[in-house]
Structure 1
């Protein structure tokens, strides 16, 4: 293979659909209305859902959570702790960047240590958004292990 070209694995639409369904199922259990966006490894949206009566703004917030999780390869919740260790300039400037979400509800999908996509969930409390996103991550992990 050419050393100037990088190969990157990415989530498939079929796997994204199953991940999204797991998040929806968890939201229904919690009796909340959310928006969900799944992006591929490059941050391109490949599947989304907006539950009836979910807040309109939750669509954009879910996308930003997914983009942040995919771009950095960490949970969006992890940013709270990370920012505490940064300079004042970074703490003030980073949250203002376009498509950044630095609060819970965004999770990367990892396979063999590499980001293959991410999910963003918004519309409920931060804790429940995280719970729904984690349900999707667990589903992806289980399906990848069994394949």
Structure 2
């Protein structure tokens, strides 16, 4: 009787396992490729920045402070990347929200109103966030975008 139950349930159990969705994630090769492109863009623009990559939950995957970037960029880069990952939109949207008078947004978890962080999205799925900090905000965002562009061209 037990063998018969096992024979009946085994195909059902394996069927459910095969129906599980596959989840995309940032592996080390992807991160290195994105960072290399961001570093190249920073070099091209002649700026020293801190570059940060986080996963979709805001966990730190990569952080690199530029040689002459100020110490506060370490915190700023992480906050920008986390904002982008948490909210699925550029950290510039946070700055625009505050500028429009919605200062209550400052109390939201991981909210950071400063341009330079971008969500990493592949096939509509948020994989994390990438940011740069240390130059003008528009330049920081260009550097982060170079990293995303490299990933999407792959």
Please state which band the TM-score falls in when normalised by the shorter chain. Answer: 0.7 to 0.9
Runs of 4 or more consecutive aligned structure 1 residues displaced over 6 Å after TM superposition: none
TM-score using structure 2 length: 0.79
- SS of corresponding position for 1:93: helix
Partner of 1:105: 116
Distance 2:89 2:25 in 1: 16
Query: Please, which runs of 5 or more residues in structure 1 have no aligned partner?
Result: none
User: Which is helix-richer, 1 or 2?
Assistant: 2
2:47 aligns with one of 32, 35, 59: 32
Structure 1 residues 62-95: Cα deviation after superposition (integer angstroms, max 9, x where no partner)? 000000000011111123444566xx5xx22222
Q: Count how many residue pairs are aligned between Structure 1 and Structure 2.
A: 137
Relative contact order: is structure 1 or structure 2 higher (C-alpha 8 Å, sep ≥ 6)? 1
Is structure 2 residue 64 aligned with structure 1 residue 64? no
Cα deviation for residue 104 of structure 1 reads 1.3
Residue 99 to residue 16, structure 1, CA distance change in 2 (3 Å): same
Residue 82 to residue 6, structure 1, CA distance change in 2 (3 Å): farther
Q: What value does the CA root-mean-square deviation take over the aligned residues?
A: 2.1
Structure 1 or 2, whichever has the larger Rg, is 2
Residue 122 to residue 84, structure 1, CA distance change in 2 (3 Å): closer
Partner of 1:52: 67
Partner of 1:22: 37
Partner of 2:146: 135
TM-score using structure 1 length: 0.83
